[in-house]
Amino acid sequence: MDNVATGLLWYIAFLFSTTLHEASHAFAAMKLGDRTAYEGGQVTLNPFPHMRREPIGTVVVPLVSYFVGGWMIGWASVPYNLQWAQQFPKRSATMSLAGPAANLFLVILSGLVIRVGMAMGFFDAPDSITFMHVVASTTDGAVSTVATFLDVFFSLNLLLCIFNLLPIPPLDGSGMIPFFLNDGLSRKYLMFIRNPAFSIMGILVAWRVFDVIYSPLHLACVNLLYTAVAYYE
């Protein structure tokens, strides 16, 4: 039952974080002139439109990965107009940035909640940290449950932010490359990365790169959170 309860906290954190990520893409696109995702009903924090679009990535894979591996992976997506992206590559790059920016906001928000909880005596810095343990509860019960949720919420959103910022197709980081190119090169680049083969190879490469960079960045962020404590690998 404890495993199921923790899994529920994981799923709430995953679903909200993924929904905000995709809704931020959709909202940015709408504001910048592409109403494709808006007309699809995805400028919303209601998770169900996102779940209907990607039921495998938002329901099946997260639950299976948790009960098999002890943590959740998954995905979601929003549609966009490729012609709009090619016509306005800098706007398209801004849309790509919106999703990771939303996850970074949630990392900062969860860090602030932890710091406020520490000031109120509910939380403390843990003796040691892992992906699943970045804050210690000073009491049992509801406070302990909130601490467990913050463990997941902080680390999961940091993961989503860093992973999606990798400049490898099909991740959001690859969509930000037009910031650094002129419009002509940006159009050629956006067509080039549309090849489905790049998406498959890109995910494989991204996971290898992510394995190397995530742990040091997670450690650095936790050390920023607890200025009076120093954690080491």
Where do the domains of the chain lie?
Answer: 2-225
Q: What is the pLDDT of residues 192-221, one digit of tens each?
A: 888 887 788 888 899 889 989 999 999 999
The residue assigned the tokens 């329901």 is 59
Contacts of 200 (CB under 8 A, 6+ apart): none
Q: Is the pTM of this model over 0.85?
A: yes
HSE-up of 128 (CA within 13 Å, CB side)?
3
Whether the predicted pLDDT of 183 surpasses 80 = yes
Catalytically annotated residue among 22, 39, 54, 233: 22
pLDDT-based confidence at residue 184 (cuts at 50, 70, 90): very high
* Residue 214 structure tokens: 């995530």
Whether the predicted pLDDT of 96 surpasses 70 = yes
CA distance 109 to 219: 18
| SS3 state at 227 | coil
CA distance 28 to 41: 14
Q: What is the pLDDT of residue 1?
A: 60
- 39 classed as catalytic: no
**Alpha-helical runs (H) found in 32-140:** 36-39, 47-53, 55, 61-69, 82-87, 89-119
Q: Do the Cβ atoms of 81 and 125 come closer than 8 Å?
A: no
Contacts of 229 (CB under 8 A, 6+ apart): 125, 223
HSE-up of 121 (CA within 13 Å, CB side)?
0
DSSP 179: G
**Tally of CB atoms within 10 A around 26:** 28
Query: Among 129, 133, 123, 173, which residue's Cα sits nearest to residue 153?
Result: 133
Q: What is the pLDDT of residues 131-148, one digit of tens each?
A: 999 999 999 999 999 999
